[in-house]
Structure 1
Amino acid sequence: MFYLLKCFIQMKILLNNIDLNEALFGKSNIGFVPTMGSLHDGHISLIKKSLKLSNKTIVSIFVNPKQFNNKKDYKRYPRNIKKDLRILKRLKVDFVYLPEIEDVYKFANKVKIKLKKQDKILCAKYRKGHFEGVINVMTRLTQIINPSKIFMGEKDFQQLFLVKRYIEKNFKSKIISCKTIRDKNKLALSSRNILLTKKNLKKAGQVARNLILFKKKLFKKKDLKNLILIKKNELIKKFDIKIDYLELRNTKNLRLTNKIKDTKIFIAYYISSVRLIDNF
């Protein structure tokens, strides 16, 4: 860790909450970008927006064990701290917060986080305890950092929706929504993409392009519910993937809908053993 401090001296690396409190004391208009590391262009777009809209920007790198409902998934989550720090230095980020688990979880949450029945949809239906874990860690990080703005991507739209509702209800921090960044094949950037083979990366891009085109065509169609079901079966057969869900939902309340206005198509699927999510 001394090596990291020496190499990135221009960028303050905060290894614990004492370092963080000293660094942020007296600072205002703080922009916060929470990450689990393995940074890509999607993260970079969030960071650039924070640098533009905030006086100071802090990026956290913390692989949160509480939001993994599968221990194997937690262990194999991609990590590359040296590469991440090089990226953050190049971007001229002010602060990087690298907490240990005890820094984040040493105090008890006063309010028990529990999803409502109507929220147990999409990924919440298939990943028990996942969003409780996400909201829990975001609550703790918000309490620790006290940012003015928190920058989050739309790729994890359900996560963005739930975190925004909870954080803005309980804190003064504002959640800033940022557009999904895609590669040249239209695949949404994700740290998990590194787990895919070249063949499966290509396949995932084909799935994305297929659904982007499908969504455009829906504007002229009726009986959308049936068309979504037909598309789901088509994707399974064409690309040999397992689909957890393919649903059309309203972006304002995440309710199922048969109307195209203010909607996104949400998908979660497996290519081999890698689970990908997206929305269009």
Structure 2
Amino acid sequence: MFYLLNILIQMKILLNNTSLFESLRPFNDLGFVPTMGGIHKGHLSLIDKSNKLCKKTIVSIFVNPKQFNNKKDLRSYPRNIKKDLKILKKSKKVDFVYVPKFKDIYDDKKKSQITLLKKDEILCAKFRKGHFEGVLDVMNRLTKIIKPKKIFMGEKDFQQLFLVKKHLEKLYKTKVIPCKTIRDKNNVALSSRNFLLNKSSLVIAAKIYKKLVSIKKNIKKKKKIWSFLNLQKKELKNNYKIKIDYLELRKINNLKISSTKKNSRLFIAYYLNNVRLIDNL
């Protein structure tokens, strides 16, 4: 606790809701960047966007147990609060960091009433039962607590962005702002889970991205896209010894299966050395 309070010079760390309410009361133009820690350049790009569009920026660090459908995944999720705070402080672009406890977010014992529509049980929702219900529940609670004017989320988690935007903008006077995916020098999409990968795994991830670019490029030449993608999925599995949950082309406006490259994205989720990675392009 002493460390958390004394790392701060320019940004203010809020360790509970009382501190948060007192600190945020004067401000009505807040930009909010929700994170589960593992701060990287992708998060910093969200903060940059918030700084351009809002007067004040608040970042949350909260590993939400409700959105993990696998207890092992929750236990292995990278956590390093000291490192995260150092990075955020060094950026000199964050006004507030909200580091709540579980009871600050889930201050009541009411069960979430959020359920996904059948049409939304696709992509990650199909393979991670309860995941997005947990995401929507915690984003609903965080938005109610923080009352931001704008929320900044990355396009790497495109389905998450799509569902949060659809859900929150109906309930609150807040806008969810999409921000482009940030990649490393080898074009691997930045993710907190990348901290769990060794160098050889990151090399494979870079090769998979290169292959995905080729697949996307060649889609327009194919009449039977579904068959083409199934074949590519098998090749990826065999060539890189990975497990793939899905490889699908979907429309960006409603996430329905697409038969054309125009206004569509190629989505993938795969396991590399037991670490689940997602990407879209």
Structure 2 length-normalised TM: 0.97
How many Å separate the matches in 2 of 1:272 and 1:134? 25
How many Å separate the matches in 1 of 2:110 and 2:228? 44
**Cα displacement (A) at 1:3:** 2.0
Contact 1:250 1:264 in 2 (8 A): yes
Q: Secondary structure at the match of 2:60?
A: strand
Matched residue, 1:234: 235
How many Å separate the matches in 1 of 2:275 and 2:3? 34
2:266 is the alignment partner of 1:265: yes
Structure 1, unaligned stretches of length 5 or more? none
**Cα displacement (A) at 1:111:** 6.6
How many Å separate the matches in 2 of 1:81 and 1:265? 34
Matched residue, 2:46: 46
How many Å separate the matches in 1 of 2:110 and 2:156? 28
Q: Secondary structure at the match of 1:114?
A: coil
Structure 2, unaligned stretches of length 5 or more? none
**Cα displacement (A) at 1:28:** 1.6
How many Å separate the matches in 2 of 1:240 and 1:122? 21
**Cα displacement (A) at 1:230:** 1.1
Q: CA RMSD in A?
A: 1.2
Contact 2:41 2:190 in 1 (8 A): yes
How many Å separate the matches in 2 of 1:256 and 1:243? 18
Matched residue, 2:65: 65
Contact 1:185 1:209 in 2 (8 A): no
Matched residue, 2:187: 186
**Cα displacement (A) at 1:260:** 1.5
Number of residue pairs matched? 280
How many Å separate the matches in 2 of 1:235 and 1:206? 10
Q: Secondary structure at the match of 1:31?
A: strand
Q: Secondary structure at the match of 2:151?
A: strand
Contact 2:7 2:85 in 1 (8 A): no
Which one is further off, 100-109 or 159-168?
Answer: 100-109
How many Å separate the matches in 1 of 2:156 and 2:10? 31
Matched residue, 2:280: 279
**Cα displacement (A) at 1:109:** 5.9
How many Å separate the matches in 2 of 1:271 and 1:90? 32
Alignment of 1:155-174 (within 5 A): 155-174=156-175
Q: Secondary structure at the match of 1:277?
A: strand
**Cα displacement (A) at 1:110:** 8.7
How many Å separate the matches in 2 of 1:7 and 1:128? 38
Q: Secondary structure at the match of 1:22?
A: helix
Cα 1:151/1:64, change in 2 over 3 Å? same
- Counterpart amino acid of 1:163? V
**Cα displacement (A) at 1:12:** 0.5
2:173 is the alignment partner of 1:135: no
